[in-house]
Structure 1
């Protein structure tokens, strides 16, 4: 197994930042051998920024509305990440589709978490779509980001049952609990050099 090195993470988040918090906590416990170099949000009121500040992590809002187009916005994201020496970009509830400009810059170095078992139920309304379809199992998926939407090579998944009386909130809470366990683990695998992309497959050194 490859020797552990301390990676510098850049976390992008648009909302509450609960996945961010799970990563912060795992770093503090020594379960993830990484440093969070910066947290970026596209929304000035994202609570993820407050979580970062409370943990002593640089936090910055790069508001999409202030830029004339997606690529100038992403160039600002890249500049902020590069300034902090970010090696791995972690999307934690970042609600914007990244263009090829960004994805190619960090090819093989962007992780995303999705609240369903991909390739089923991609997109922004996974829990709603899961319940509407009537499946009996859902969960979360962590994958490398490619130039498609929720289409990159899958690294790991965790499953939860879908109950007859589930709402989006109850199902979402159960999935979120699994996200908080799985995301830090996958980040640590990356930091240990254990993830290898082979076409559509990700091999994990054991």
Structure 2
């Protein structure tokens, strides 16, 4: 199985996945990083791990449709089987969704359906909630609305700052996401083995 990771920022989740693929702790091969911000830190991380990188913006492509078509062409040429979103801050378009139905997962820093979209941590903090969470879900055409695979709660402490809360959420993400992805990839590998 060939795996692509999509990311937009720092790449802390990418780093964990890259290390796990290198140590053969996950089925398949990390074949590609796609990033929509050419100067993002995740691009440097990928190069350090010798993972091939494709990076370009919507603006470079002209339109969102052309952007999606260019990504899809790359995914098909690389024979990608599965996509992991790891801090990718764009909605996946219909053409990619149709080609990879049930094979794109996302991590969201909230207990969905609470706080879909951007700035989830800050919004939960500002609303003075007692807890927020982390969700792993399949990607569909909506905004963080796909079928939920796994979730866990993260308490918001009385003396928390946003950065402290964010740090604890990332710690839970780094535990939950690789476990869930490992199980999905193992199940896919087994299913494909049974079909052969």
Could you state the TM-score of these two structures normalised by the residue count of structure 1? Answer: 0.87
Partner SS for 1:150: coil
Q: Which runs of 5+ in 1 are unaligned?
A: 1-6, 195-206
Q: CA deviation at 1:171?
A: 0.8
The residue that corresponds to 2:110 in the other structure is 116
CA contact (8 A) 2:72 2:95 kept: no
1:43 aligns with 2:37: yes
Instruction: Report 1 or 2 for greater relative contact order, CA contacts < 8 Å, sequence distance ≥ 6.
Output: 1
1:126 maps to 120
1:158 Cα deviation from its structure 2 partner: 2.1
Displacement over 3 Å in runs of 4+: none
Q: Which residue of 2 aligns with 1:4?
A: none
Q: 5+ unaligned residues in a row in structure 2: which ranges?
A: 189-196
Task: Indicate yes or no: 2:41 matched with 1:72.
Answer: no
Separation in 2, partners of 1:169, 1:103: 33
2:80 aligned with 1:86: yes
Contact 1:23 1:183 in 2 (8 A): no
Shift of 1:29: 3.0
CA-atom RMSD in angstroms: 1.5
Identify the residue that residue 53 of structure 2 maps to in structure 1. 59
Shift of 1:49: 1.0
Of 3, 19, 27, the residue aligned with 1:9 is 3
- What does residue 146 of structure 2 align with? 152
| Alpha-carbon distance between aligned partners in 1 of 2:31 and 2:78, rounded to the nearest angstrom | 6
Aligned to 1:75, what secondary structure does the other structure show? helix
User: Matches of 2:16 and 2:37 in 1, distance apart?
Assistant: 20
Structure 1 or 2: more helix by fraction: 2
Count of aligned residue pairs for this structure pair:
189
Q: TM (normalized to structure 2)?
A: 0.91
